[in-house]
Amino acid sequence: MIEQLARWSAKGARKRLALAGLLAAAVLVAPLPAAGAAAAPMIVGGRGATEEYPFMVSLRTDQGRHYCGGTLIHPEWVLTAAHCVAHGKEGSTARVGSNDRTLGGTEARVARIVLHPDFTPPPLWAVDIALVRLDRPVPQEPASIAREAGGAGSPVRMLGWGMACESGDECLALPAELRELDSEIVPAGRCAGLDGATELCVEHPAEHVQACVFDSGGPLLQAGPGGWELVGATSRDGDADPRCASGPGIWTNVTAYTDWIGHTVAG
């Protein structure tokens, strides 16, 4: 099935209070989690995308506002984080294959949302993965899902259109251009509340460099023989520090769910 298919956390009340002013002032319609959870993640300390990513997806409200990232894994299917779409986003749109979330690529409507049956919403967090079916096939090339994720020390790249800084008026506007950050998988023990069998702990060696608000659902990539391969979907923070980019982050390990993905897409 892998060949056939050739994607933030509860830091508790302190972080929600720290982000609340930013979110309200920006009038951003992101998938705000339930009580006890923080807002969806951003790439802080990254850089503008250095190449094209035809599988990259911006999930957008029916008003055209970006709320989460995603990864095209099939001409009609996008993989994202379950918490992005848990409250129903049918009727929203997806822009596929453009590094600019405001134009280009292909637009399609969200026709169906499939949450993993074991998804547990915040504050408990488990199996944060979902599939979104588009209303029509798109021409962009889907991402390949890796056979397995690398171990601790393996280099990875994250992508997203989230806020690029943690505080201040300049952080209120999301970047139009896609951002990327090269980081690495670290031992599971670095992340609090992580399931080592189904999740990945990722941390950049520099401080204040990490995914954070509105990067949720976006891809974590590793290099494969034929190019980038999908290994993760942005899920949540990996520590209790109220600052967004202060430590490790947790990604759903997509390679742990290839059977479910294949069954859903085929059905």
Q: Which residues are catalytic?
A: 83, 128, 216
The token pair at 156 is 């990875």
Instruction: Please check whether residue 236 is in contact with residue 128, taking contact to mean a CB–CB distance below 8 angstroms.
Output: yes
Supply φ then ψ for residue 23, to 5 degrees: -65, -40
Instruction: Please check whether residue 78 is in contact with residue 93, taking contact to mean a CB–CB distance below 8 angstroms.
Output: no
Supply φ then ψ for residue 264, to 5 degrees: -65, -45
The token pair at 193 is 């509340």
Supply φ then ψ for residue 237, to 5 degrees: -70, 160
Is the dihedral angle over the CA atoms 188, 83, 180, 247 positive or is it negative? negative
Secondary structure letter of residue 45 according to DSSP = S
The whole-angstrom separation of Cα 38 and Cα 16 is 5
